[in-house]
Structure 1
Amino acid sequence: MNDNNLVTLVHRFLHWERTQPEAIYLTESMPDGRVVDYTWKEVGDQARRMAAYLQSLDLPPQSAISIIGKNSAHWIIADLAIWMAGHVSVPLYPTVNADTAQYVFEHADTRVVIVGRLDGKADAWNDIQKVVPPNVPMIGLPLSPSLPTVRQWETIVAEVQPLQDVQLPSPDQLATIIYTSGSTGRPKGVMHSFGTILAYATGAGEFCSFTPSDRVLSYLPLAHTAERSFVESNSLCHGFRVYFNDSLATFAQDLQRARPTVFISMPRLWTKFYQGVCAKLPPAQQELLATQSPQADAMKKQILTMLGLDATRIAFTGSAPLPHEITNWYRNLGLELLDVYGMTENFSYSHYSRPGQVRPGYSGQALPGVECRIADNGEILLKAPTMMLGYYKQAELTAESMTEDGFFKTGDRGELDEIGRLKITGRVKEIFKTSKGKYVAPAPIENKLGHPKVEAVCVTGPAFPQPFALLMLGLEARKELQDPQAREKLQAELQGMLDRVNAMLEGHEKLAFVVVVKDFWTTDAGFLTPTMKIKRSVIEERYLPKAQGWADIGKTVIVEGD
């Protein structure tokens, strides 16, 4: 790898296009069951043709071009085409509402909208299409909705000759504007240069020792920094293969097809894997699994193979801690989950747990080039080679987000241990006051409420004498509520968890009760961000009006609807 190839991801792509043209880069499972492969040469050909078409539109240099749609091979090909044409990509979540989409289109001055996999059922396309500015052309990727106003990708690439002299950006040039998916307020447009993106990929590459023989599965939203960095940036930089998940129904099949060598997921999915396996194993086999024996080793290998994770050499988790029982279960299988911490503003490059140095509840040490310190109010302050250029059209907000000596104010509260591992203890602005005038930080309490059958937790209670917790159970645990004996056992387990946690808390933090909620907290329903973090304001708006009624019941474990 010579220095000329290390300038930007566009340079890196050209390197792989030249040196391994017939190697498969992208593998996509289709709704009809077909599996389609795209080589580096084919990706380059299609990207060059679309880049030539975009240049034919005579847009101003560095125009904003939006991509909206679920993950697909052509999402990445479209991003490459935008860069090759000398423009800036502005991704949007497929679940974004029309109001936010309209804001982004107007704020970014979007000149073209590239429409990906959308169906108007599990996404907001039916409303979004109405707010696309009338003078903005739309291009439909394969699997996009068919509309007279949307020019189809296949038609364009069949008619246009590939661009030979692609735009080779400089490291300091703007590559993308990523609008944050924050739980409150208007999204902020985070600007990243080609240099900050490459700094992530080179740093992550050294940590993971990536080679072209690696494989990953793309299923988290490419519009979010975590997937954009981990999948797109790393694959372009290091030349490895990307598989795509078609749908939730095909997830297990797609994961087994990919057999990823490196895999990243959120706690909720790691919990679902765990619950699914445990539901299939009789008690005798679960006991055997905890032993050290040839039979146990064979079973562990079989479980990892069933999950599609038998080839995984590095597994990451992030966004919230996992219950110790679950992390220990994976470790016993031979899969050590490495907790990571990052954000849109630093392109997900901040803190990674090191193999053999994992500490439960901590996100690991700072990555090379990252400086971290804790402010007097507990806020995490960071410097990194991947730090954003700033917030688009919001210079004042950019200045407010930085300290005088150039550290970024993350808004997260945290603490460092003796070897520099970072523990996230909540958000600076999430602290609420009880009716007794005491302040409560919810996140540390939520992190203690770990139970294998609980998929999500929200601690709340502003203006109440004591805080309380809302618990969302997994699907299998919900079924237990229908059986009186299993229900009684589950409620006893939750009571035990509540007692254990309350014993660790200060008096003003002790939970008055926990409530098992009826709703499924999903992104579609608006309870979770696209990266599966709870939207605290939405949850509180939904449940706080019921809180006094629950408090009046006088129970400590309540099932909503009883």
Structure 2
Amino acid sequence: MLSPLAAFYKAVEEQPNRVYLRQPIDGKYQELSWAEVEIIARKMAYQLTALGINKGDKVALWSKNCAQWIMADLAIMMVGGVSVPLYPGQSKTNVQYVLEHSEAKLLFVGKHDNDKEVIDSIPQGFTTIGFPYYSGPVTHKWDDLVSHSNPDDFKPYIADLDEIMTLVYTSGTTGQPKGAVHTHKAFAFAANNFVEHVGIKSPDRAISFLPLAHVAERMIVEGQSYYGWFSISFVESLDSFADNIASVKPTLFFAVPRLWSKFQEGILGKVGGQKKLDLLLKIPVISSLIKNKIKKGLGLDKARLCGCGASPMPQALLEWFDRIDLPVMEGYGMTENLCYGTLSLPGQRSIGAVGKAFHQNQLKISSEGEILFKSPALMQGYYKDAQKTQEAFLDGFYRTGDKGEIDSQGFLRITGRVKELFKTTKGKYIAPAPIEGLLVSHVAIEQACVMGSGRNQPLAVVELSETARAMDKAEVKAQIEAHLQKVNSQLEHHERLDSLVLTQLAWTVESGLITPTLKVRRDTVEERYLQLVDEGTKGVIWGPEEAQAQSHQAA
């Protein structure tokens, strides 16, 4: 088995002049071949050595996705270093904790949405290398180091497979981040098997926009490129996102449920709503034209594999994309197993399930109903935390913390979180995830959080979609009231929601309501809203911010 760096060098040898990385600058793509990427990465590796970075030293990466991110990662591997990715939008507290806990000696820093917050987060005197798109002060600039490098005598280090390659810190919905220790062997096993069993080839095209610090993007885009030898294009900004996708026309496209929901919302807005789309799809000739126009408008008319992960995608949303001939394949994995869990594939898919276990991946359900995994992709443990490492494993299997079921065909269905279960005063346990899945099936609801520990009945807080936030409040409330009745009719009596709180405020990383990987921070949502809803409150109500705004408008 080739290590990630050795696999990269094999690609350089076999297709040196094929385009590998495509970076948009001022609306135009700058293209770098595999050979050009190798030269730049080696020049940076030479400079890392000159700066005192040796085998085993930790080097952090903190930037939005760009070509330099991947070249910096390659340079770290070339000196035998250990990469420590940081999420864009990560809090100052978490950034400083990870830098200190990982013992990082240097930080690559690049473009963020708010460079001032980044500047404030970097410890005084910490050695930094700034990517070309970063405006803050740095110790060294990427372009200066590359242009003044003479790496002719530098020989890249090819690590043994059992050596540590990276510390991937969890985004964490609660508590401090934990650093999952992954070897070159684990990374190689997962990435290579992805490529072989999904059937990825060098003519494929991927577009990278989800954080490369997240294990899914790191594996599915960067990792697989080393073994699949395909090209990667980046997104210049949020404003150019749609144009970038349309320009690239990716054959491989991976996104989180929130983005697929945004796509649906945008499509319905353009065609005039769900009723009109339903009517158009019933007309044979028009139906085909509409489907093709929608896919072309998204930039996904050449996509042969669309994926989704990081959090559950509502069944209704999966079925909706099926109807426009854009099937989305769900996958399931986590930081601790390099996203090497389960995957749905064309012809091997069951709506509502997250696929079957990958090749050489043991999947089973514990006596408590918890999903367990065991494969060569598993982490070595949590960095400098023997206790949490011990708690994370059961007889060599990783404990996911998720509850699930495996059907007779081997498809895995996730039924909730072990630790998210809560008990009402009636002594009944509530699993939030399935109820939240029903709630977000409505196009007006962006995200949902079900809570109610110690109450007679559960309740939910929801974030309205962008379209719903622009609608008349009375109309939105009426729609959600009808939807709540429909949801409650599908639940057991003890699961039925007493009330549903509508929030027009966007749930953002900055507000603390979601993690950098767009997962809901339950503790923060509960802390902000639970005590504001009196026991016994019924029906759909507006959150305190919206209610206050309405009273001001009335005055």
- Tell me if TM exceeds 0.5: yes
- The DSSP-based 3-state class of the residue aligned with 1:515 is strand
Aligned to 1:388: 379
Aligned to 2:141: 152
| Structural mapping, 1:266-305, within 5 Å | 266-282=256-272, 286-291=277-282, 293-305=284-296
Q: Any unmatched runs of 5+ in structure 2?
A: 548-555
The 3 A distance-change label for structure 1 pair 292 and 167 is farther
TM-score, normalisation: structure 2: 0.94
Deviations 1:465-519 (A, max 9, x none): 110111111111111135xxxx33x333322322222222222211101111132
Aligned to 1:345: 336
1:201: how far off? 1.2
- 1:128 corresponds to which letter in structure 2? S
**Contact 2:181–2:381 under 8 Å retained in 1:** yes
1:557 aligned to which of 528, 540, 545: 540
- Note if 1:25 corresponds to 2:11: no
Deviations 1:251-310 (A, max 9, x none): 101111111101111111111111111111136851344226232212211110110000
**Contact 2:206–2:251 under 8 Å retained in 1:** yes
The 3 A distance-change label for structure 1 pair 285 and 400 is closer
- 1:208 corresponds to which letter in structure 2? V
- Note if 1:354 corresponds to 2:345: yes
Deviations 1:450-474 (A, max 9, x none): 2122110100112221101111111
Aligned to 2:8: 13
2:448 aligned to which of 454, 457, 461: 457
**Contact 2:23–2:234 under 8 Å retained in 1:** yes
1:206: how far off? 1.9
Aligned to 1:408: 398
Alpha-carbon distance in 2 for matches of 1:509, 1:218: 39
- The DSSP-based 3-state class of the residue aligned with 1:190 is strand
Aligned to 2:550: none
**Contact 1:25–1:242 under 8 Å retained in 2:** yes
Aligned to 2:233: 243
Q: Any unmatched runs of 5+ in structure 1?
A: 1-5
Aligned to 1:3: none
Alpha-carbon distance in 1 for matches of 2:31, 2:280: 38
- 1:351 corresponds to which letter in structure 2? T
The 3 A distance-change label for structure 1 pair 155 and 320 is closer
- The DSSP-based 3-state class of the residue aligned with 1:124 is helix
Alpha-carbon distance in 2 for matches of 1:251, 1:271: 16
- Note if 1:88 corresponds to 2:76: no
- The DSSP-based 3-state class of the residue aligned with 2:408 is coil
- Note if 1:364 corresponds to 2:355: yes
Structure 1 vs Structure 2 CA RMSD: 1.8
Aligned to 1:327: 318
Report the identity percentage.
Answer: 38
Moved more, 175-184 or 519-528: 519-528
- The DSSP-based 3-state class of the residue aligned with 2:59 is strand
1:120: how far off? 3.1
Aligned to 1:57: 51
- Note if 1:541 corresponds to 2:527: yes
Deviations 1:405-436 (A, max 9, x none): x1111111111111111111221111122233
Alpha-carbon distance in 1 for matches of 2:278, 2:435: 31
1:35: how far off? 2.2
- The DSSP-based 3-state class of the residue aligned with 1:524 is coil
**Contact 1:205–1:238 under 8 Å retained in 2:** yes
Deviations 1:374-404 (A, max 9, x none): 1121111110221111111122321221113
Aligned to 1:398: 389
Deviations 1:185-205 (A, max 9, x none): 111110111111111111111
- Note if 1:315 corresponds to 2:301: no
1:60: how far off? 4.1
TM-score, normalisation: structure 1: 0.93
**Contact 1:264–1:317 under 8 Å retained in 2:** yes
The 3 A distance-change label for structure 1 pair 403 and 322 is closer
Deviations 1:288-339 (A, max 9, x none): 4422623221221111011000000111112344344432231122211111
**Contact 1:118–1:145 under 8 Å retained in 2:** no
Moved more, 515-524 or 229-238: 515-524
- 2:119 corresponds to which letter in structure 1? N
Alpha-carbon distance in 2 for matches of 1:38, 1:117: 20
- Note if 1:184 corresponds to 2:174: yes
**Contact 1:7–1:170 under 8 Å retained in 2:** no
1:34: how far off? 3.3
Aligned to 1:126: 119
1:105: how far off? 1.2
Aligned to 2:511: 525
Aligned to 1:508: 494
- Note if 1:336 corresponds to 2:331: no
Moved over 4 A (4+): none
- Note if 1:377 corresponds to 2:377: no
**Contact 2:22–2:30 under 8 Å retained in 1:** yes
